[in-house]
Amino acid sequence: MKIYLRDIKERFPEFEIRNYDDNAYFIGFNHDSRTIHPNEIFIPIVGDNFDGHDFILQALNDGASMSICEAKKSLLIKDAIKPIILVDSIKEGLQKILNYSVSFINAPIIGITGSAGKTTTRKMLTTILSGDGEVLSTEGNNINTVWGNAVLLSHYADEKYIVLECLAYEFC
């Protein structure tokens, strides 16, 4: 999956893009600056005890081709030389970009939601579908957030099926 910044710009005119580069692209999502790979888009997560925005420059220096950043935190990336997509909300911006990115995946994507039984159902369905072809799904870890599913979908390699767990209000 190779997603060009020019396509993001065209599809989402509401995004402000700093350091725009017509040839910039990303091939996957990553929310952990310590494990960034070349040409990934860095997604800063804001937690109770940390703010991923503090690691945007590190991720870009370590190979990320671009990053998302909340517009209200743009002073943190004033020294960036690679593209930065400014959004009102990281989660909403990621959901938009992820939904666009999945349009390039040819496999059916099956999302398991609910308040109980997601992991068991995902494992059973993955086992059943694997009898008919390769399945992209989590291996033991319960990934059920938009961030985790974005990273998982980055590993798509023409599997026949994709099975995800997700919270009912987030992207599957």
> Along the chain (172 residues), what's the average pLDDT of each consecutive run of 10 residues?
94 96 95 94 92 96 97 92 96 91 90 84 92 88 75 87 78 52
pLDDT at 154: 82
* Same-domain check for residues 79 and 143: no
How do 66-70 and 84-87 pair as beta strands? parallel
The answer to whether position 172 is within a domain reads: no
Count structural domains, the chain.
2
The answer to whether position 171 is within a domain reads: no
* Same-domain check for residues 59 and 27: yes
* Same-domain check for residues 160 and 141: yes
pLDDT at 171: 53
Radius of gyration of the chain (CA): 16
Domain ranges, residue 133: 109-165
pLDDT at 155: 83
* Same-domain check for residues 32 and 116: no
The answer to whether position 127 is within a domain reads: yes
